[in-house]
Structure 1
Amino acid sequence: MQNILDSVDPLIGTGATDLPPAQGLAATWWWPKAQVGNTHPGASYPLGMVSACAYSGAYPTGYGVYRISTEGQPTQLYDRNQASGFTHFQQSGTGAIRKYYNYFRVTPMIEPLDALGTLWNLHDEVAEPGYYAATLDTSVRCEVTVGAKTAVHRYTFPESRSARVVVDFSYGGLAIEHGRTVPLRAHMQSLGRGQAEGTLVMEGVPLSVFIEADTPDWRQLLWYDRRLVDGGTRLDFDYIRRTTLRPFGLILMGPAAAGQTVELKMGFSLRGTEQARANLDDELGLGRTRFDKCRSRTRKKWSSHFDQVKVDGGTEARRTVFATSLYHSLIKPCFADDESPFWPTPGPFVFDICTMWDIYKTQIPLITALAPRRGAALLESLIRVCEEEGNFPIGYRMAKGADRFFRQGSALAHTALADGYLLGLDGIDWDWALVHMQDDLRRVYGEDFLEKDVVHPVTHTLDLAYGYHCTSLIARGLGDRRLADELERRAKHWANAFEPETGLLAKSTYYEGGRWNYSFRLLHDMAGRIELAGGDDRFVELLDAFFGYGQPPVRQLGTPPFADEYRAGAALHRFEGLNNEPDMEAPWAYHYAGRPDRTAQIVQAALAYQFAPTRGGLPGNDDSGALSSWYVWASLGLFPVAGQNLFLVNAPAFATASLEIGGNEFLIETIGHRETPISYETGTAPAPQFVQSATFNGKPLDGGFITGNELHGGGRLQIELGPEPSAWATKERPPSVSDRTDG
């Protein structure tokens, strides 16, 4: 098995969804949400604070060519990829949240300063983990790379009497309606000798930069409103409004011989310019050119993560999609150790949790598996945010105050905390965590839940009941049985969200979905859930209707405006593929009804028809890596049941795979794996493969699941595959709380 880092293609997901025409079961699914991956191909450091990318101002993330899109195919704003410079701090795959950073735009120019903001076409793009390059119409070759808290630019100029590198301190957001982000306050200073520093207060956060340029004999000046500030070395703005903002920044200018390179190093911090300078010195050193060193170091960091996940088998195209999915899964959240601007003590600070609703099911379990210390640091940061702001965040950006997105969900951090506790992650004061978890359950929708045992939107009833269950696990583990029993009593109120006569959730308002999308979540009492629906057969009937078994193909949305096709699609109450977060876990609900063969059919159809090794190769927003991490787990034949320390098992997409988790190897081997090209190579999907039998460490695995501790502890999972469904995992089901006999 080989390291698959060289198979990564960061351009996947940057374009509007463009997949092979679906056939069979996959053709019956209907996806209403935005059909664009919203990823960017810029330089990123694994779970780092900084990214850098070409900037057009359009959607997605500032790199792309589209207008903001929430439904169907996005409409184009531009007809080709282009850039006005290179910005820092990008989202990765998020939807239309209108908060896209893109701060400190750096632009290489051979035109006068008045031309700043010109969009030049991008030619000869190269995108690799930690590196991005392109050539502008002006023949300037542009390269960017990043460290954890730093960025390095390298520009190779044609011959010019007056070449320039311009840093725009005032820019942020997207260049579309309601997309701009304006600094509230700003300070910048030219220090001479190729050095400058500054601080912007963006959305209540002080973001500082220290700049060092390798531009011998070039002039160094500040500029304001596209005019040079001769002799000035400092600009201060105490109050900035949208109506009064004029662009300002730093310019380095001088003659360039053909092929001359200029390097610009930037250190960033949320704790002032001195810390920004120290970050630059720590990572790259001051006073020396460091582009190649930074690129090499970041490449090695990416490689160390990819050394932990290896696969054998699969076509080149499938390996490309898998490797890129792993890459996208490790870009966010952003870990900025010792950088919190909101509390003075050292320790982890994590932002771009955009949002828990997206990442808690699949991405956090993947991060915790591949980087347990980072997983623990994320939990510690969540606890600290709750301590400082009064709530566990549903979403948390580099901004003042948590973006809680309470319409999306409630008590989602509790699932990650429960998994962390059951896995025994180090460095967390679990007694203190329990205090915050219990208090958080009483906030916002939790108040009504306490009084009425049900709350609307009714999906929050499921969230809160699950949060109570997760909290009870920690309380019981800490020896507080009385508290655990009380919490578990309230956790049973999940049933109040359902209609026994239909077996579905009650009529209510729903966020980005409907009652069918949310009705097949993996609850802590799936045995009780199936009984409420009328038993195994009735539950499977509902699932079959949701997944479109026996139904004709449907027509997807095109570009807006939509008319009858949206209403017709919504009336199907159909699985939205991997285009919608609530649906990500639904295929695995069959496991609890003894039909893992159905899970295999749906998951393999999704892997074949909803992903491709192209710019349009994602079915929807990647959502900070949530979608990509689903692909990683599904390809391995695993699915994490977040909050339950549980992994469901099914047919892998590769003949062999291995995970290195905390120094332990978890090996997945198959017998009878059939290697066939998939839809984007042949136009047809392979017939599904089904598990015939399985063993874990040589012992029969009859229930189709393992614990998180077994995964993290390492071992050998051997799976025999065949072309037809079998009796495997039809009798022994994954655990439910109602299976317990100890109360």
Structure 2
Amino acid sequence: MHKLSDIFRKSIFFVLTGLVATGVLAQQKRKPGVTPDKPECLTRYVDPYIGTGFHGHVFLGANVPFGLVQLGPVNLSEGWDWCSGYHYSDSTIVGFSHTHLSGTGIGDLGDIAVMPVTGDVRFSKGNVEDPKSGFVSLFSHKEEKANPGYYSVRLKRYNIKAELTATARVGFHRYTFPQSDNAGFVIDLRQGIGWDLAKETYLEKVNDTTLAGYRFSSGWARDQRIWFKMIFSKPIKSFLVSDSTSAQTGDRFKGKFVFGRVSFATKPGEIVKVKVALSPVSVENAADNMNAEVPGWNFDKVAEAADTAWNKELSRALVHSDDPARLRTFYTALYHTMIAPSYFNDHNKDYLGTDKKVYKNASFNNLTTFSLWDTYRAAHPLFTILHGDKVNDMINTMLAIYQQQGKLPVWHLMGNETDCMVGNPGIIVVADAVMKGFKGFDSNLAFEAMKNSAMLDERGLKYVKRYGYIPADSTVESVAMGLEYAIADWGIAQVAKKLGKQQDFAYFDKRGRYYQNYFDKQAGFMRGRISDNEWRDPFNPFESIHGKNDYTEGNAWQYTWLVPQDPYGLIGLLGGEDRFLKKLDSLFTIKGDLGAHASPDISGLIGQYAHGNEPSHHIAYLYHYAGKPWRTADRVRYILDHLYTDKFDGLCGNEDVGQMSAWYVLSALGLYQVNPTNGVFVIGSPVMNDATLNVGEGKSFRISVKNNSVSNKYVQSIELNGKPYSKSYILYSDIVKGGTMSVVMGSKPSGWGTGRGDRPL
């Protein structure tokens, strides 16, 4: 790994200098603490570098909200911290790829890499110690810029300035070259990120300015297919293709690892632009995407449009804070929630299904990158508030996946089911949408999909149906898997009840309580049972053995709380409110050895609470259910203040495709949906002085917070639409009706929200 000795800890786009794209690089000053009431200004609060360091794994580059194209740099280095292709510690670039993941713990994608070069180079990434070994270049963060929809960097080796922007399906490049008789680009169809490995690639010179081709690869997603069309603003002088380190002439080449080289002469400061359109269907559709989205060559106009698109989406939440760092953290988090799910269709709505059939002119926008085990907890509940217009596309995509593969998605990527992680998270997301009253999909088909997905025999489900638990000696991560299934089953039960399916309700309501079968009353923890119904021994509640014990990326201390669908049942299991509270307090203070083989995902530790991993995300809010909302305030404020910062290493773990960021957005607003399918948002401890949420259909919901400060973290009283409101939660239906929630804060705990009738449903 090649590091810069002078790594900057601050992004060049911090609000203290106030950069906003007017063109791309215009600068304006802004006083801290001013309400960002002009939507065109909100991108100045976004710092895309947040999360590119430590284990955040976020994407850095140019894209638009939910866009298929995510165009950004790829470092030479590889490994877990390069799952997105880029890590802040690195100082090398081997190309600009058009697809990336953001925040994941597995690397994939990195399709269609373009690398500007001068002189002769080998068709290999190479290494910086031997420049002749390949086309890698060094860069410096001092000469790198990033803001939503725009990225630029100077490649030191070639003295080429690269600038990137994008639309939903087109990547737009602008390169400023030095004088050279042999300038041009390497087109790398071999390169992928992480597990991605090219299987078949094709590159063709269509004419003097146009290339086309495809890249089929296998990785985390086993059968990935991307077609592309690439147009240059400057005629190609020569074209070479290769499937190894030696090049050959010719207009087309098909092979496993195809490289291409286009060459031309350039004058000092000459600009060459490149447009690359993607399609999951065909080269012809890629060409149509380009004609529809970027028909011309005005780079600045496209960059401005990308900035406008981001501002429009960011303006769905207009917040006020006197702390500029808080604003940067909030709007960057909101930005990160809109990188995925991403479009996986063409401008005409054609898409490639999971069954590898082409579906023409679909009635919805097909999407991909469903990290559902992560995102069902906060990201999807946030979508139902701020992006109700996109929820129907998400659900229709999931239902189409069900029809094509026989079950709802688990972790879906580029038209492939990866079956990554445990449980049935797709069921949870669909159930939440049904229960919240979304109408843009077939609710009967939705129930069929949920029920049939839960009645399969795969991934431990046959044991759930047979025994009511998953034997630990039959299935790895059995406790985590079983607890997740119970959450999904509870959601199915609620939908069945809503649809009048009483027999299904009774069955799945029972399964939703199977979490009880993993609880050892004597030990006080959720733990593994073996086939003879005995507890697995030896048992250490601190120990984590990554991928090989009874918990997924966690231990018994962390998983014992994974009952968000029935917190009151969990309180009963733990012996009542007093014992529950004592153990919950202990979670945040107790120390213990995770063991030599602990999951690296167990990060952001406060005692045994692990905020860097999603199964912990609801836990701080459980105090509400025992009548202690001020303890929630203590925990949530600490997490907001210490585990999220506006620095490149400002995330305490994998960002996980928007989930870590969605937790911050909701919690900063003072809201969190503990039960992922009942539409009840617990009211925590808002840190924003004022927030106006665009909840759709011309309605807004305002959260006005008085006396808010670092010390004034406890809710004293609330009024909802001008009337006293004592409940410690608010219903989704009340939020999307629009209105105002006025919150008064204080420095000491109050009696607000503590009554039996005021605790969350």
Whether TM exceeds 0.5 here: the answer is: yes
8 Å CA contact 1:458–1:497 kept in 2: the answer is yes
Name the residue aligned to 1:370.
386
Q: Does 1:486 align with 2:507?
A: yes
Q: Name 2:135's counterpart in structure 1.
A: 117
CA distance in 2, matches of 1:564, 1:506: 18
For structure 2, list consecutive stretches of 5 or more residues without a partner in the other structure: 1-34, 123-131, 472-477, 530-549
Q: Please say if 1:165 is aligned against 2:185.
A: yes
Distance 1:703 1:205, change over 3 A: same
* In the alignment, structure 1 residue 528 sits paired with structure 2 residue 569: yes
C-alpha separation between the residues in 2 aligned to 1:435 and 1:629?
29
Counterpart selection for 1:61 from 46, 71, 83: 83
Aligned residues of 1:12 and 1:613 also touching (Cα < 8 A): yes
From the superposition, tell whether residues 101 and 282 of structure 1 become closer, same or farther in structure 2 (CA, over 3 Å): same
| Contact 1:593 1:733 (C-alpha < 8 Å) held by counterparts | no
Higher mean Cα deviation, 340-349 or 327-336?
Answer: 340-349
Q: Are residue 351 (structure 1) and residue 361 (structure 2) matched?
A: no
Q: Which residue, 49, 60, 67 being the options, matches 1:11?
A: 49
Change (3 A) 1:563 1:438: closer
- 1:348 and 1:279 map into 2 onto residues whose CA distance is 14
SS at match of 1:184: strand
Q: Deviations over 1:420-444 (max 9, x none)?
A: 1122213211111111111111222
Q: Secondary structure at the match of 1:483?
A: helix
> 1:659 aligned to 2:693?
yes
Q: Is residue 292 of structure 2 the alignment partner of residue 293 of structure 1?
A: no
Matched letter for residue 82 of structure 2: P
Match of 2:756 among 720, 726, 732: 732
Could you list the per-position Cα deviations for residues 611-642 of structure 1 after superposition, in whole angstroms to 9, with x for gaps in the alignment? 11111111111011110111111100000231
Cα–Cα, structure 1 residues 510 and 716, in superposed 2: closer, same or farther, change >3 Å? same
Give 1:80 deviation, angstroms: 4.0
Aligned counterparts of 1:335 and 1:369: Cα–Cα separation in 2: 20
Tell me the TM-score normalised to structure 1 length. Answer: 0.85
Superposed CA offset, 1:63-109 (max 9, x none)? 4358xxxxxxxxxxxx64220221121110111x2x32111111111
CA drift at 1:505: 1.4
Q: Give the alignment of 1:24-35 within 5 angstroms.
A: none
Give the C-alpha shift of residue 563 in structure 1. Answer: 6.1
Conservation of the 8 A alpha-carbon contact between 1:658 and 1:665: yes
- Partner Cα separation in structure 1 for residue 599 and residue 562 of structure 2: 24
User: Which amino acid counterpart does residue 319 of structure 1 have in structure 2?
Assistant: L
Instruction: Look up the match of 1:284.
Output: 294
**Percent sequence identity over aligned pairs:** 26
- Counterpart of 1:474 (choices 474, 486, 495) is 495
- 1:70 alignment partner in structure 2: none
Secondary structure of the structure 2 residue equivalent to 1:579: coil
Deviations 1:163-205 (A, max 9, x none): 112211222124xxxx4x3322222211113111101211223
Q: CA deviation at 1:50?
A: 1.1
- One-letter amino acid matched to 1:235: F
Structure 1 residue 424 corresponds to structure 2 residue 448: no
SS in 1 for 2:365: coil
Unpaired runs of 5+ residues, structure 1, are 17-35, 67-78, 241-246, 675-685, 738-743
What amino acid does structure 1 have at the position aligned with 2:201? A
Alignment partner, residue 448 of structure 1: 463
For 1:381 and 1:430, the matched residues in 2 are separated by: 14
| 1:93 match | 103
How far 1:297 sits from its partner (Å)? 1.6
Deviations 1:19-72 (A, max 9, x none): xxxxxxxxxxxxxxxxx1111321122111110111113332354358xxxxxx
1:275 aligns with 2:290: no
Q: What pairs with 1:552-591 in structure 2 (closer than 5 Å)?
A: 574-591=607-624
Q: Does 1:669 align with 2:681?
A: no
Is 2:401 the counterpart of 1:403? no
Give aligned pairs, total: 663
Match of 1:206 in 2: 225
Give the SS at the match of 1:211: strand
Whether the aligned pair in 2 keeps the contact of 1:669 and 1:717 (CA below 8 Å) is yes
User: For the aligned residues, what is the CA RMSD?
Assistant: 2.5
Offset, 1:256? 1.0
Question: Separation in 1 of the partners of 2:486 and 2:682?
Answer: 22
Cα offset, 1:357, TM superposition: 1.3
Amino acid at match of 1:532: L
Aligned to 1:677: none
Shift of the alpha carbon at 1:688? Answer: 5.6
Cα distance in 2, alignment partners of residues 374 and 580 from structure 1: 26
Q: CA deviation at 1:369?
A: 2.0
* Cα distance change on mapping 1:515 and 1:80 into 2, 3 Å: closer
Structure 1 residue 228: Cα displacement:
4.1
Give the Cα–Cα distance (whole angstroms) in 1 for the partners of residues 109 and 510 of structure 2.
44
d(CA) in 2 for partners of 1:566, 1:645: 32
Aligned to 1:140: 160
- Residue type matched to 1:527 in 2? Y
Please tell me the residue identity of whatever aligns with 1:462: L
| Aligned-partner Cα distance in 1 for 2:228–2:236 | 23
SS at match of 1:348: coil
Q: 1:680 corresponds to which residue?
A: none
How much does 1:526 deviate? Answer: 1.9
Give the superposition deviation at 1:259: 1.0
1:294-352 CA-partner distances (Å, limit 9, x unpaired): 21221111111111111112311111111111111110121224322434322432221
Determine if contact 2:561/2:619 at 8 Å carries over to the other structure: yes
CA separation in 2, counterparts of 1:591 and 1:521? 16
Q: Distance in 1 between matches of 2:721 and 2:422?
A: 38
2:42 matched to 1:39? no
> CA–CA distance in 1 between the matches of 2:119 and 2:325?
42
CA distance in 1 between counterparts of 2:269 and 2:435 reads 57
Matches of 2:322 and 2:427 in 1, distance apart?
A: 37
Tell me the residue number matched to 2:310: 302
Cα deviation, 1:673-717, whole Å, max 9, x if unaligned, reads: 12xxxxxxxxxxx43610011121223322211111112221211
Contact 2:239/2:251, CA 8 A, preserved across alignment: no
Conserved 8 A contact 1:226-1:248: no
> Structure 1 stretch 642-651 or stretch 599-608: which is displaced more?
642-651
Render the CA deviation track for 1:210-267: whole Å, top value 9, x for unaligned: 111101464344444344433x111123xx4xxxxxx433322121111110000011
* 8 Å contact kept, 1:159–1:259: yes
Letter in 2 for 1:411: N
SS of structure 2 residue aligned to 1:103: coil
Q: 1:369 to 1:640 in 2, by over 3 A?
A: same
| Conserved? CA contact 1:522–1:586, under 8 Å | no
Structure 1 segment 603-642 matched on structure 2, within 5 A: 603-641=636-674, 642=676
Question: Shift in Å at residue 516 of structure 1?
Answer: 1.5
Higher relative contact order (CA 8 A, sep 6+): 1
Distance change (3 Å), C-alpha of 1:592 and 1:295: same
Sort the Cα spacing of 1:211 and 1:487 in 2 relative to 1 into closer, same or farther, 3 A: same
* Contact 2:181 2:266 (8 Å CA) reproduced: yes
Inter-CA distance 351–168: structure 2 relative to 1 (3 Å threshold): same
Asked if 1:262 is matched to 2:301, the reply is no
**What is the DSSP-based 3-state SS (H/G/I as helix, E as strand, rest coil) of the residue aligned with 2:411?**
coil
Q: Which amino acid aligns with 2:210?
A: Q
On the 8 A contact 1:152/1:290 being kept in 2, the answer is no
CA contact (8 A) 1:60 1:93 kept: no
In structure 2, distance between residues paired with 1:378 and 1:514? 32
Residue aligned with 1:520, SS: coil
Q: Aligned partner of 2:198: which letter? A: P
Structure 2 residue aligned with 1:197: 212
Alpha-carbon distance between aligned partners in 2 of 1:333 and 1:469, rounded to the nearest angstrom: 25
Q: Does 1:415 pair with 2:428?
A: yes
**Partners of 1:465 and 1:332 in 2: CA distance:** 26
